[in-house]
Protein backbone atom coordinates (compact mmCIF):
# COMPACT_ATOMS: atom_id res chain seq x y z
CA UNK A 1 0.00 0.00 0.00
CA UNK A 2 1.30 3.40 -0.97
CA UNK A 3 0.43 6.73 0.55
CA UNK A 4 0.96 9.94 -1.38
CA UNK A 5 -0.07 13.55 -1.00
CA UNK A 6 -0.82 15.59 -4.09
CA UNK A 7 -1.43 19.29 -4.24
CA UNK A 8 -4.65 20.17 -5.97
CA UNK A 9 -5.60 23.63 -7.15
CA UNK A 10 -9.08 25.01 -7.66
CA UNK A 11 -10.83 23.50 -4.64
CA UNK A 12 -12.79 26.19 -2.84
CA UNK A 13 -15.55 24.55 -0.84
CA UNK A 14 -16.85 21.31 0.59
CA UNK A 15 -18.42 20.40 -2.72
CA UNK A 16 -15.02 20.55 -4.40
CA UNK A 17 -13.58 18.48 -1.59
CA UNK A 18 -16.21 15.80 -2.09
CA UNK A 19 -15.86 15.83 -5.86
CA UNK A 20 -12.12 15.29 -5.66
CA UNK A 21 -12.38 12.66 -2.94
CA UNK A 22 -14.96 10.77 -4.97
CA UNK A 23 -13.04 11.05 -8.22
CA UNK A 24 -9.95 9.53 -6.61
CA UNK A 25 -11.76 7.24 -4.21
CA UNK A 26 -13.84 5.46 -6.83
CA UNK A 27 -10.76 4.22 -8.66
CA UNK A 28 -9.96 0.56 -8.41
CA UNK A 29 -7.18 0.04 -5.89
CA UNK A 30 -7.66 3.32 -4.06
CA UNK A 31 -8.59 2.57 -0.48
CA UNK A 32 -8.56 6.09 0.90
CA UNK A 33 -8.82 9.59 -0.55
CA UNK A 34 -8.88 12.54 1.77
CA UNK A 35 -8.78 16.23 0.94
CA UNK A 36 -7.44 18.94 3.19
CA UNK A 37 -9.02 22.11 1.84
CA UNK A 38 -6.76 24.50 3.75
CA UNK A 39 -3.62 22.81 2.54
CA UNK A 40 -5.12 22.23 -0.93
CA UNK A 41 -3.92 18.68 -0.62
CA UNK A 42 -5.24 15.28 -1.55
CA UNK A 43 -3.89 12.36 0.39
CA UNK A 44 -4.42 9.00 -1.24
CA UNK A 45 -3.71 5.51 -0.07
CA UNK A 46 -3.65 2.95 -2.85
CA UNK A 47 -2.56 -0.46 -3.98
CA UNK A 48 0.16 0.04 -6.57
CA UNK A 49 -0.77 -3.21 -8.24
CA UNK A 50 -4.15 -1.77 -9.19
CA UNK A 51 -3.84 2.00 -9.23
CA UNK A 52 -1.07 4.45 -9.99
CA UNK A 53 -0.38 8.04 -9.17
CA UNK A 54 -0.89 8.78 -12.85
CA UNK A 55 -4.44 7.35 -12.96
CA UNK A 56 -5.30 9.22 -9.79
CA UNK A 57 -3.98 12.50 -11.20
CA UNK A 58 -5.92 11.93 -14.40
CA UNK A 59 -9.14 11.29 -12.51
CA UNK A 60 -8.71 14.46 -10.48
CA UNK A 61 -7.98 16.59 -13.51
CA UNK A 62 -10.93 15.06 -15.37
CA UNK A 63 -13.09 16.13 -12.44
CA UNK A 64 -11.96 19.67 -13.22
CA UNK A 65 -9.13 20.37 -10.81
CA UNK A 66 -5.51 21.17 -11.36
CA UNK A 67 -3.17 18.60 -9.91
CA UNK A 68 0.61 18.78 -10.10
CU1 LIG B 1 -16.45 24.02 -4.46
Distance 28 CA to ligand 1 centre (A): 25
In Å, what is the CA distance from 6 to each residue of 18, 41, 51, 57, 58? 16, 6, 15, 8, 12
In Å, what is the CA distance from 43 to each residue of 6, 8, 50? 6, 10, 17
Distance 49 CA to ligand 1 centre (A): 32
* Average pLDDT across the chain, whole number: 97
Q: Is-above-0.85 flag for pTM?
A: yes
Domain boundaries, the chain: 2-67
Distance 6 CA to ligand 1 centre (A): 18
Structurally, at CATH architecture level, domain 2-67 sits in 2-Layer Sandwich (3.30)
Per-residue pLDDT at 47 exceeds 90: yes
Distance 21 CA to ligand 1 centre (A): 12
Helix, strand, or coil (residue 63)? coil
Distance 23 CA to ligand 1 centre (A): 14
pLDDT recorded at residue 46: 98
Amino acid sequence: MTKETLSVDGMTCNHCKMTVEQAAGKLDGVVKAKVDLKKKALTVKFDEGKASLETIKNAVSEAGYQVD
